[in-house]
Chains A and B, each alone.
Chain A
């Protein structure tokens, strides 16, 4: 087996590859650019261990929601109700914790179950009755906001038990040495080792199947970059209080859901249903069941976000989660989702959420008002998707370059008829 892929022999092909995957790399590059920009503008304040820790905690619930939202958008739907579900599950959890006096380990699973039931309710209407998701979740957005007000009687519940607050504000316990949090470093090293092991095992497997693999040098470089990024990040966090518990939860969710979407038949079905529901149905995929469960999942993740948010604020308020649905949707689209469905990755959603998060944080640090913040975030969303659309069209005409006449008339720039 030749160790060198045909690609590495043709630099032109590599360029094409990168160009065609611009949507993948583009957002990573954009994120890095934004981080560097605000790093400079804030005089390094953005990248202090304290602020990085804050960034993770501030954005944890948007990341959680963005993961679920990405899956909803991949199936070709939308969920406008997540903000209200965040508020409602947070409120019910607070009531269970304070008025009923239930312990946190009981309340957390109950809250997740409640979220899943809400998701099942909405999923039922969307998947089986075929009411458009926009309508069902718009109704949910109104109804669960109302339900939140009813549960809370229009007032906030505070404070919440310490055991719940740890979820959002706690850190990995353990000793420190030379000002560095040791368990964080150890855990990161273990994580990095696992990642390298997975990468190399995958490479060995591909090779044993006779598939082309990247050159040894390139593979070492890729692994080294990954390990480097993880360890630098760990070092920064270890310089403050170590890895926040909510950060650990996010990593688990990201890894778990990425695995689900990339490497399981379930994930493949979700993509197929979003790509072409009819083709998926005629391939023996239970399209209605798939859609239903995607919404159940969204509901459960909304409940998780609701718990984290309530724990972080140390209260359940009637206005909790307002506009969260839009943050999550924006994150998914910035992260490469397509409104038509069938496209997107979990990592993309996370990067999208981070782009928004770093923008928020950086703009606050340099003292920009909320007015400017909203305006700039709106423009970023528009530009990110415009960039994506532009790339897609270029990729399509690149496809046409290879087989120009294989494209059908109906595709591409449609002949517009002028109005007189």
Chain B
């Protein structure tokens, strides 16, 4: 189904249509005749694996790729449009909110809201009007903050709302959100998606790019699926009185990957052995705010061959626990003990933690996991330079061969070991980070949000790698905010809330409701 003129429930004429969009980069066709049509007052989700063409399509729409660099037509309100740049598309009421927010951290909320669009008379800013209008806009997006607050003092979720307020200040008619909830916790996500539906009801057309199928199904009125630079289909979604969507998730996934995905998580096949790692009374204070407990007396065990899930809402202390375990990379006054095979081990520096068999795959893979401008090979060997050197002198041959083996084990898709990791897709970047830690041959692998921002196909491959590792006898501690992932992957689940471990549930007995109750602290420790 590749209908450029989908019919719409309600019959309103589309506010925006893109027809037969083709965009080529030297040697590669990124978009091959994509069509998209968006109504005013609708949330239109754009789904597709990384590399399907969503980002390129939105760059064409927002003028990042100016008219002339692509073929095909764009119509806004039935009028042909050819944007020469971002400023041009903004004038037509198209605003895009990127994953990496475009706010100036040290400026205030109101300054940011009107950045480049100042309430001014002959270059002199009218502060009264600025603050008053900023307050109105903040109210509209449901953000209860003083407009004079610097943006850096706000949470990521609140910053996202400021971005939306900024778009509203420009009288946005088509609002594009790229992975808006990827850095938000459940409550913030719910709030943002709620706002999205409100804006829709006010007549704004919202284009939502997200990997979180659940939220897409919940808020979308239409879903367009892209694959390999082509439109697969556009599906209207109706919600019944209970909010249950009329379309099956599997149908969307099938469209995205072009094949049946019978399983989203690999089977648990290995055998679980004895307790190998035990954490006792682990307590961590906030690095700046003295006395603020981030992790409070946490204790848990991991057996060999076991994948242990650590579930919790954002801010529950999971990352803080993991990073403080890993060479005290987080926090102050880290207290507690870590036992390996019954003996206490020292993990007070990262080097010692690695020597003790620990590995930590960080949540922020670009900032903390990779040297982005270096290549696959050097990134893979970075944490285990001793393995490929002799008395401090590197052996390039051994490095090439051994890192290549890791890349193959990880099913890394790259142009070769000398490809710069910045140019890899998110999924493949994550495989490089995983490979880097596989290269150290760890006994305990701590994974922090290992599949965030990664498409469905690559997710499954990462699950397979993790499973394979556990089967080989390693211990895995899996931190994740996605409950289905925790449930699908873990042999045992701990829940965390406000720095404390609030429960321990065997994998097969766990379900979303139980975990959510424990994670929100509405049920006492099990």
Contact = CB atoms under 8 A, between A and B. Distances in A.
**A and B associate:** yes
Interface string B299-319: 000000000000000000000
A406 B394 contact: no
Interface string A306-333: 0000000000000000000000000000
Contacts of B517: none
B100 A408 contact: yes
A14 to B, nearest CB: 15
B51 A417 contact: no
| Interface size range on A against B | 35 or more
B116 A401 contact: no
A208 interface: yes
A283 B383 contact: yes
A178 interface: no
Interface residues of B, number: 74
Nearest to A6: B416
Nearest to A259: B393
Interface string A391-420: 000001111111111111111111111111
Given A275-B372, A342-B371, A418 B382 contact: no
A143 interface: no
Contacts of B350: 281-285
A59 to B, nearest CB: 30
A284 B370 contact: no
A401 B27 contact: yes
A205 interface: yes
Given A279-B370, A342-B371, A404 B397 contact: no
Contact of B371 (A276, A398, A399, A414): A276
Interface stretch (A131-139, A240-248, A261-269, A346-354): A261-269
B401 A209 contact: yes
A389 B367 CA distance: 23
A280 B26 contact: no
A217 interface: no
Nearest to A409: B98
A209 B417 CA distance: 15
Given A268-B378, A406-B50, A409-B55, A211 B393 contact: no
A283 B382 contact: yes
Contacts of A413: 64
A420 B98 contact: no
A286 B385 CA distance: 13
Contact of A407 (B55, B90, B415): B55
Contacts of A268: 378, 381-382, 385, 394
Interface in A228-255: none
Interface in B363-420: 367-374, 378, 381-383, 385-386, 389, 392-394, 396-398, 400-401, 415, 420
A110 interface: no
Given A282-B350, A283-B350, A417-B90, A404 B25 contact: yes
Nearest to B386: A265
B439 to A, nearest CB: 10
Contacts of B349: 284, 286
A271 to B, nearest CB: 7
Interface string A329-367: 000000000001011000000000000000000000000
Given A209-B397, A271-B374, A279-B369, 13 more contacts: A202-B396, A211-B397, A266-B392, A278-B367, A281-B350, A282-B350, A282-B360, A283-B383, A405-B56, A409-B178, A414-B102, A420-B116, A420-B117
**A-B residue pairs, 10 tightest by C-beta:** A410-B100, A417-B116, A275-B371, A399-B423, A415-B86, A209-B397, A283-B383, A406-B425, A404-B30, A284-B351
Interface of A: 202, 205-206, 208-211, 263-266, 268-269, 271-272, 275-276, 278-286, 340, 342-343, 396-420
21 contacts: A209-B398, A209-B401, A211-B400, A263-B394, A266-B392, A271-B371, A271-B378, A275-B373, A276-B370, A278-B367, A280-B382, A401-B25, A404-B28, A407-B423, A408-B55, A409-B55, A409-B96, A409-B100, A416-B86, A417-B115, A420-B116
